[in-house]
């Protein structure tokens, strides 16, 4: 199938997609999503529309149909090449056809081709998928409808072709979006929150186990639609048995019952209160051009790269003495602070922080594969388990290559991943964590990066769970086939899902159990869950489809690994996908309208439906700057192609086109600023004050250094200011910088110090009192470094803790108890 390109719609040319309607049904931690895309051809010629859009990376697309007038046609799942040929043949013969296919490079990108839509006619496309909802740090369940699709950077030399995306600002997206959700659970629904505007939550019954919510009208497409759903007592293990499909053959996956087990392991508090003092912590930071964009979609908001720098400060201050660490950063190339991981000390920490302060989003594209390969090529340090932390806005086209590499090295490390900003690839972020035995986090909307990252650091510092095994106790005559890959990681408070096929006869009154055994800190432990064989009602084959998707994903990865057997594995995936009706990378949904009717005459106009791209780069360009992507196209009959640059794969912040656009935008800003600077220089020192006032009123983000150069005004957060002064050992020094961070003078701090107390002990207790007294809302961010400070204080045997706490409260105007400090 040739690479189709359409006219860009920056001139507001009419496109056929008119509106998108989304109906969401959430049952406990599983979501069923039905999207209806309404097309209308307002042009005077027949068109073919191509709409590239994102879906959750682990979604199971299970239904696709088209409604043309009063005729409803349900799609078939076929091998991808066969489906493409059928689609092209239909268009060649003047028939209407629709093709839905998953990207070969990334499972969270789909393209929908709507072929031969006559002038003045409408069509409705219905797309349905099911997905699991991830558990967040605050126990909420996260549903994300990606309304933002950033252009994916395709590294040179990587497999396959890049996903084609037409991106426009939110104001030019020519279609509307509506979303309604119904939430139900065995436990009451506490609340539903969102980064987007919602209508009030409506409860449907008195026990509040069912509720509805709607997205407020007028969604601007400037962010993903994210819902956070909270249940009371959410962390309860459950097992759901779903009956097989009546029309399917018994013994097949669709014909047999399938059980979905949701486990929340609880570890002994005595073990969880300990923090590992060993480990090799490797931090990998994205410094591509897009990391200069605003983190929270505000014109003058904090950028992704600046938030990442602050996060690295907290991480480095929170590391335990005795561990090893290194920091890598990447774009089109990659850098590392140390040639190899070094032991954590005051000297190495200071050296690393100095380099971190200099990091900016200036390394071009998003070549994440190279630095990860280099990290894995470094020999592991004996008795220092490797923990990899990856920070990226996730806009890459070679997702599967990256995830496969992490899986091949999963035996030697754990990987924690962080998707920064709107449009980060869920397939990449979730895939890194899943295959690396770690945990994934997304930072979107008004989220702060720091608390989410520190939660993952706490996971990394937990004792490692090893020797995980799953055993089943089932009625006689019933056997079980595991459909999920083996569990490799268990974390306190995090859900683990297990899918299994149940074969054989049993009564609905029968019961079974599943037991997960593991070793934690040298102690054998287990969690057991009993369940009934009585099938759940009205599940609509949701569990089967999620199980199918899990098995398909495992087989796809196996196909990429086993070159000798890849044809056999691919055939198995195609058979499973066709039988279950669930999407895969080797199949596609095809609809052809074969009803009798007049063939559509004339050449087709190609139209790429634009997707909102998230590129508000306050650090790199003025508001409204758009990273426009164009690719080499094949001219087609009746279709004029815009001139294309010779380079087919363009990177964020690095392409000639983008550089040209960026330079022209910056020139617009530079000219008035430089005129003001020149005027200020002529006025010398006498006019400097008025010049600064003039400059500040027109450009609030620009100020002058003493030498007249422009500088960014960004007063440091008081918490980060205090944290930056902590030593690697956990203590603080008594100096003017600490006094200033506490809002006091050096004289006040010195005068309040109890007699016979050393300076570092007094300074450390003051810092702890300030944290507990004034920053409890950010406790997740400083808790680990405070624990390190407490450990240091406990080693100071002669310290008069009670006197210091009393004096510190008097000085700072707080009332923190000694026990609250952990002393």
Distances (CA, A) of 84 to 104, 499, 589: 14, 32, 9
pLDDT of residue 695: 35
Distances (CA, A) of 120 to 45, 99, 175, 345: 9, 21, 17, 71
DSSP annotation string for 655-697: SHHHHHHHHHHHHHHHHHHHHHHHHHHHHTGGGHHHHHHHHHH
Is the pLDDT confidence value at 245 over 60? yes
pLDDT of residue 712: 40
- What is the C-alpha to C-alpha distance for residues 214 and 366, in angstroms, rounded to an integer? 36
Query: Which of the four pLDDT bands, split at 50, 70 and 90, describes residue 58?
Result: confident
Is the pLDDT confidence value at 155 over 70? no
Helix (H, G, I), strand (E, B) or coil at 275: coil
Give pLDDT tens digits for 567-597: 889 999 999 999 999 999 999 999 998 775 5
User: Between residues 691 and 158, which one has the greater pLDDT?
Assistant: 158
pLDDT of residue 299: 58
Of 256-260, 285-289, 704-708, least confident by mean pLDDT is: 704-708
Q: What is the mean pLDDT of the segment spanning 508-529?
A: 88
pLDDT of residue 210: 94
Is the pLDDT confidence value at 532 over 70? yes
pLDDT of residue 765: 96
pLDDT of residue 50: 81
Secondary structure of 769-788 in the HEC alphabet? HHHHHHCHHHHHHHHHHHHH
Q: Which two tokens stand for residue 336?
A: 């590392």
Crossing angle, helix 566-580 and helix 542-561, to 10 degrees?
A: 170
Which candidate, 363, 325, 328, places its Cα nearest to that of 344?
325
pLDDT of residue 654: 36
pLDDT of residue 42: 79
pLDDT of residue 607: 56
Is the pLDDT confidence value at 160 over 50? no
Q: Which helix (H) or strand (E) holds 515?
A: strand 511-520
pLDDT of residue 596: 56
Q: What is the mean pLDDT of the segment spanning 407-425?
A: 89
The mean pLDDT value of the chain amounts to 80
Instruction: Classify strands 496-503 and 176-184 as parallel, antiparallel or unpaired.
Output: unpaired
- What is the C-alpha to C-alpha distance for residues 764 and 733, in angstroms, rounded to an integer? 7
- What is the C-alpha to C-alpha distance for residues 199 and 445, in angstroms, rounded to an integer? 18
Is the pLDDT confidence value at 286 over 90? yes
**What is the strand order of the sheet 97-102 is part of?**
76-79, 587-592, 97-102, 109-117, 47-54, 605-609
Strands, E assignment, 521-602: 523-532, 587-592
Q: How far is CA 159 from the centre of its chain?
A: 23
Is the pLDDT confidence value at 380 over 60? yes
Task: Burial-class residue 285 by CB neighbours within 10 Å (0-12, 13-18, 19+).
Answer: buried
pLDDT of residue 472: 95
Q: Would you kindly state where each structural domain of the chain is located, as residue ranges?
A: 17-149+170-233+583-603, 238-270+465-578, 275-459, 659-712, 718-821
User: Between residues 267 and 685, which one has the greater pLDDT?
Assistant: 267
Q: What is the mean pLDDT of the segment spanning 289-296?
A: 84
What is the C-alpha radius of gyration for the chain, rounded to an integer number of angstroms?
29
Domain 238-270+465-578: give its CATH code: 2.60.40
pLDDT of residue 599: 60
φ and ψ at 606, to 5 degrees?
-95, 130
Number of other CB atoms surrounding residue 523 within 10 Å: 12
Of 295-304, 731-740, 766-775, least confident by mean pLDDT is: 295-304
Token pair 């979006």 is found at 177
597: CB partners within 8 A, 6+ apart = none
Is the pLDDT confidence value at 745 over 90? yes
Q: Which CATH architecture has domain 275-459?
A: 3-Layer(aba) Sandwich (3.40)
Crossing angle, helix 759-774 and helix 779-794, to 10 degrees?
A: 150
Percent of the chain past pLDDT 70, that is, above it, reads 77
pLDDT of residue 713: 42
Is the pLDDT confidence value at 457 over 80? yes
pLDDT of residue 657: 32
User: Between residues 161 and 677, which one has the greater pLDDT?
Assistant: 161
- What is the C-alpha to C-alpha distance for residues 295 and 300, in angstroms, rounded to an integer? 10
Query: Which of the four pLDDT bands, split at 50, 70 and 90, describes residue 733?
Result: very high
What residues does 420 pair with on adjacent strands?
Answer: 443
Q: Which helix (H) or strand (E) holds 202?
A: strand 202-203
- What is the C-alpha to C-alpha distance for residues 567 and 563, in angstroms, rounded to an integer? 8
pLDDT of residue 601: 54
Query: Which of the four pLDDT bands, split at 50, 70 and 90, describes residue 148?
Result: low
- What is the C-alpha to C-alpha distance for residues 268 and 250, in angstroms, rounded to an integer? 43
pLDDT of residue 46: 82
User: Between residues 771 and 562, which one has the greater pLDDT?
Assistant: 771
pLDDT of residue 492: 77
- What is the C-alpha to C-alpha distance for residues 306 and 442, in angstroms, rounded to an integer? 17
Question: 502, 474 in Cβ contact below 8 A?
Answer: yes
- What is the C-alpha to C-alpha distance for residues 591 and 52, in angstroms, rounded to an integer? 18
Domain 17-149+170-233+583-603 class in CATH = mainly beta
Q: What is the mean pLDDT of the segment spanning 34-42?
A: 86
pLDDT of residue 84: 95
Question: 15, 38 in Cβ contact below 8 A?
Answer: no
pLDDT of residue 511: 92
Number of other CB atoms surrounding residue 269 within 10 Å: 9
- What is the C-alpha to C-alpha distance for residues 491 and 327, in angstroms, rounded to an integer? 25
pLDDT of residue 138: 79
* Maximum mean pLDDT: which of 125-139, 171-185, 362-376, 622-636: 362-376
pLDDT of residue 411: 87
Crossing angle, helix 369-377 and helix 399-408, to 10 degrees?
A: 10
User: Between residues 212 and 634, which one has the greater pLDDT?
Assistant: 212
Query: Which of the four pLDDT bands, split at 50, 70 and 90, describes residue 453?
Result: very high
Token pair 């196209």 is found at 633
pLDDT of residue 711: 38
Q: What is the mean pLDDT of the segment spanning 212-216?
A: 93
User: Between residues 622 and 708, which one has the greater pLDDT?
Assistant: 708
Count Cβ neighbours within 10 Å for each residue of 737-775 and write b for 16 or more, e otherwise: ebbbbbebeeeebeebbbeebebbbbbbbbbbbbbbbbb
Is the pLDDT confidence value at 173 over 90? no
Which candidate, 568, 606, 611, places its Cα nearest to that of 586?
568
Give pLDDT tens digits for 653-696: 333 333 333 333 333 333 333 333 344 443 433 333 433 343 33
pLDDT of residue 101: 94
Count Cβ neighbours within 10 Å for each residue of 625-651 and write b for 16 or more, e otherwise: bbbbbbbebeebeebeeeeeeeeebbb
* Maximum mean pLDDT: which of 249-253, 651-655, 729-733: 729-733
Query: Which of the four pLDDT bands, split at 50, 70 and 90, describes residue 68?
Result: confident
φ and ψ at 562, to 5 degrees?
-100, 90
Is the pLDDT confidence value at 761 over 60? yes
Is the pLDDT confidence value at 157 over 90? no
Roughly how many angstroms between the first and final C-alpha of the chain, as a whole number? 69
- What is the C-alpha to C-alpha distance for residues 765 and 746, in angstroms, rounded to an integer? 16
If you count them, how many residues does the chain have?
A: 823
One fold for both 17-149+170-233+583-603 and 275-459?
no
DSSP letter, residue 248: S
pLDDT of residue 297: 59
Q: What is the mean pLDDT of the segment spanning 225-242?
A: 88
pLDDT of residue 166: 53
Is the pLDDT confidence value at 562 over 50? yes
Q: Which two tokens stand for residue 298?
A: 């505000």
Of 118-127, 167-176, 561-570, 572-581, least confident by mean pLDDT is: 167-176
Query: Which of the four pLDDT bands, split at 50, 70 and 90, describes residue 156?
Result: low
Q: How far is CA 211 from the centre of its chain?
A: 27
Distances (CA, A) of 81 to 87, 581, 702, 710: 10, 17, 55, 57
């Amino acid at each position: 199938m040739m690479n189709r390109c359409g006219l860009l719609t920056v001139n507001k040319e009419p496109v056929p997609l008119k509106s998108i309607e989304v109906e969401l049904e959430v049952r406990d931690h599983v979501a069923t999503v039905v999207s209806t895309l309404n097309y209308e051809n307002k042009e005077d010629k027949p068109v073919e529309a191509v709409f590239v859009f994102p879906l959750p990376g682990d979604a199971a697309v299970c239904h696709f149909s088209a409604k043309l007038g009063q005729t409803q046609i349900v799609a078939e799942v076929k091998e991808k090449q066969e489906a493409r040929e059928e689609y092209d043949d239909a268009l060649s013969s003047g028939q209407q056809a629709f093709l839905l296919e998953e990207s070969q490079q990334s499972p969270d990108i789909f393209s929908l081709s709507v072929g031969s839509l006559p002038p003045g006619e409408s069509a409705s496309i219905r797309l349905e998928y099911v997905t699991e909802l991830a558990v967040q740090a605050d126990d909420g369940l996260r549903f994300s409808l990606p309304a933002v699709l950033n252009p994916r950077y395709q590294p040179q030399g990587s497999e396959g072709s890049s996903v084609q995306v037409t991106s426009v600002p939110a104001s030019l997206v020519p279609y509307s979006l509506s979303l309604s959700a119904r939430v139900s659970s065995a436990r009451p629904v506490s609340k539903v929150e969102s980064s987007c505007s919602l209508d009030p939550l409506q409860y449907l019954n008195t026990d509040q186990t069912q509720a509805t919510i709607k997205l407020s009208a007028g969604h601007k497409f400037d962010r993903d639609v994210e819902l956070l759903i909270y249940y009371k007592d959410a962390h309860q293990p459950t097992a759901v048995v779903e009956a097989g499909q009546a029309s399917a053959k018994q013994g097949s996956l669709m014909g047999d019952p399938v059980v979905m087990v949701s486990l929340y392991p609880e570890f002994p508090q005595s073990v969880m209160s300990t923090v590992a003092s060993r480990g090799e912590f490797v931090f990998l930071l994205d410094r591509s051009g897009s990391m200069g964009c605003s983190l929270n979609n505000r014109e003058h908001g904090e950028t992704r790269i600046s938030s990442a720098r602050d996060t690295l400060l907290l991480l480095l201050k929170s590391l335990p003495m005795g561990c090893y660490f290194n920091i890598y950063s990447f774009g089109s190339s990659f850098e590392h602070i140390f040639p190899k991981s070094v032991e954590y000390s005051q000297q190495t920490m200071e050296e690393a922080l100095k380099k971190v302060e200099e990091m900016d989003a200036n390394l071009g594209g998003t070549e994440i594969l190279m630095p990860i390969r280099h990290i894995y090529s470094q020999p592991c340090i004996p008795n220092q388990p490797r923990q990899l932390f990856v920070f990226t806005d996730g806009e890459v086209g070679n997702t599967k290559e990256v995830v496969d590499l992490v899986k091949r090295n999963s035996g030697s490390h754990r990987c924690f991943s962080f998707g920064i900003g709107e449009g980060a690839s869920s397939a990449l972020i979730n895939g890194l964590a899943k295959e690396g035995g770690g945990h994934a986090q997304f930072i979107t909307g008004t989220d702060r990066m720091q608390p989410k990252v520190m939660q993952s650091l706490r996971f990394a510092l937990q004792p490692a769970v090893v020797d995980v095994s799953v055993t089943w106790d089932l009625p006689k005559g019933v056997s079980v086939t595991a459909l999920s890959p083996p569990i490799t990681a268990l974390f306190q408070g995090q859900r683990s899902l297990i899918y299994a096929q149940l074969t054989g006869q049993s009564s609905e009154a029968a019961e079974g159990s599943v037991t997960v055994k593991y070793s934690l800190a040298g102690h054998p432990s287990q969690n057991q869950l009993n369940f009934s064989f009585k099938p759940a009602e009205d599940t609509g084959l949701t569990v089967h489809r999620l199980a199918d998707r899990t098995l398909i994903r495992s087989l796809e990865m196996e196909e990429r690994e086993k070159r000798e057997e890849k044809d056999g594995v691919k055939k198995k995936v195609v058979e499973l996908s066709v039988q279950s009706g669930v999407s895969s990378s080797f199949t596609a949904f095809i609809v052809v309208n074969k009803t009798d009717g007049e063939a559509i005459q004339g050449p087709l106009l190609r139209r790429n439906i634009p997707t909102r791209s998230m590129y508000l780069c306050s650090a790199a360009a003025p508001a409204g700057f758009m990273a426009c992507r164009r690719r080499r196209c094949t001219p087609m009959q009746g279709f004029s192609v815009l001139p294309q640059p010779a380079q087919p794969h363009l990177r964020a912040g690095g392409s000639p086109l983008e550089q040209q656009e960026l330079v022209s935008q910056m020139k617009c800003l530079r000219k008035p600023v430089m005129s003001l600077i020149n005027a200020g220089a002529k006025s010398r020192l006498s006019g400097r004050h008025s010049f600064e006032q003039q400059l500040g009123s027109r450009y609030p983000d620009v100020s002058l250094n003493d030498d007249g150069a422009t500088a960014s005004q960004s007063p440091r957060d008081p918490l980060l200011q205090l944290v930056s002064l902590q030593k690697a050992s956990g203590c603080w020094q008594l100096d003017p910088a600490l006094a200033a961070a506490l809002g006091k003078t050096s004289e006040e701090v010195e005068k309040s110090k109890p007699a016979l107390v050393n300076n570092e002990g007094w300074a450390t207790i003051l810092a702890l009192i300030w944290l507990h007294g004034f920053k409890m809302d950010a406790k997740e961010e400083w808790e680990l470094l405070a624990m390190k400070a407490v450990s240091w204080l406990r080693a100071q045997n002669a310290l008069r803790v009670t006197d210091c706490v009393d004096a510190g409260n008097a000085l700072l105007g707080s009332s923190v108890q000694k026990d609250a400090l952990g002393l």
